[in-house]
Amino acid sequence: MKQNILITNDDGINAKGLRALIEVASEFGKVTIVAPEMGMSGMSHAITMTNPLFLRRIKIADSVEVYACQGTPVDCVKIAVDSIMEEAPTLILSGINHGSNSNVSVLYSGTMGAATEGATYNVPSIGFSLTSHLANADFTAARYYVKEILEKVLQHNCNKSLCLNVNIPSIPSEEIKGIKLCRQANGFWQEEFDKKLDPRGREYYWLVGKFINTEPEAADTDEWALRNGYVSIVPVQVDMTDYKTLKKAETWF
């Protein structure tokens, strides 16, 4: 079946990773691109509630429609599905992000915010990330794995609420050992705020964090897979209910 694909990202409309994703996705059907005007890294599942959303139509070709939106990645998905696309997308793709979105980073990631938003609409959605922040990162291996993963997902007539967090190690293609299905690694981001004074004496801080992996040896986690040369895939759900605690806390209230 020819797909009707919505593509977005969080690095903005001009990112190299977005172009790489468009190239691969175009082989699977019609693509519509609605991406943020500017970088929206770390915007998570944020939506724009107090400002208007400006939308700029950039180019219309036979099979590619491109829009830039002055909003977040989730805004892009919403405006695409509810206002721009004539027919509901059959697939929503986000990325390819410049930088990893493994472990709890899934919570902060604009790339994955867009993908989980897609899943709330009951459209299979995949976020792709390469573990390199460089603007000119090499997406050769990433393109190969995006294609392979899309083929396999479509082949299995996946569940409509399917949402995948795919991370691709930034190493030469021939060193990648394959694809590994994983769970999200436990841990947290520890910040070392860099405190400064502005010319008027006001204190300000830059947020500079590092991820503390609390289970570095767990071979079923995405962090382990990436460190060991695998492409990691974590299926993600939008139901955040903690069912274990739900059961345990039954007698508390």
Residues 79 to 108 in contact with its own copies, rule: CB under 8 A: 79, 82-83, 104, 106-108
Residue 68 binds its own copies, judged by CB under 8 A:
no
- The two structure tokens encoding residue 54: 């400006």
CA distance 10 to 112: 9
Member of 45, 97, 143, 213 binding its own copies (CB under 8 A)? 45
Cβ at position 170, least distance to its own copies in Å: 19
Member of 160, 183, 216, 219 binding its own copies (CB under 8 A)? 183
| Complex with its own copies: residue 60 or 152, whichever CB lies closer | 152
Cβ at position 46, least distance to its own copies in Å: 4
Question: How does DSSP classify residue 170?
Answer: S
First vs last C-alpha separation in the chain: 51
Residue 193 binds its own copies, judged by CB under 8 A:
yes
| Complex with its own copies: residue 29 or 235, whichever CB lies closer | 235
Residue 145: in which H helix or E strand, if any? helix 140-155
Cβ at position 51, least distance to its own copies in Å: 9
Instruction: Examine residue 96 and say whether the peptide bond preceding it is cis (omega within 30 degrees of 0).
Output: yes
Stretch that binds its own copies, among 1-9, 71-79, 90-98, 167-175 (CB under 8 A): 71-79
Interior CA angle at 109 toward 118 and 206, to 5°? 155
Question: How does DSSP classify residue 221?
Answer: B
Stretch that binds its own copies, among 26-34, 58-66, 136-144, 201-209 (CB under 8 A): 201-209
Stretch that binds its own copies, among 17-25, 50-58, 87-95, 169-177 (CB under 8 A): 50-58
Member of 30, 78, 98, 143 binding its own copies (CB under 8 A)? 78
Considering only CA atoms, which of 71, 32, 38 is closest in space to residue 54? 71
Contact 4, 90 (CB under 8 A): yes
Residue 226 binds its own copies, judged by CB under 8 A:
no
Q: Which residues contact 57 (CB under 8 A, 6 or more apart)?
A: 65, 66, 67
Interior CA angle at 111 toward 118 and 103, to 5°? 105
Residue 157 binds its own copies, judged by CB under 8 A:
no
| Complex with its own copies: residue 61 or 246, whichever CB lies closer | 246
* Interacting positions 107-126 with its own copies (CB under 8 A): 107-108, 113, 116-117, 120-122
Q: Which residues contact 145 (CB under 8 A, 6 or more apart)?
A: 166, 168, 176, 179, 231
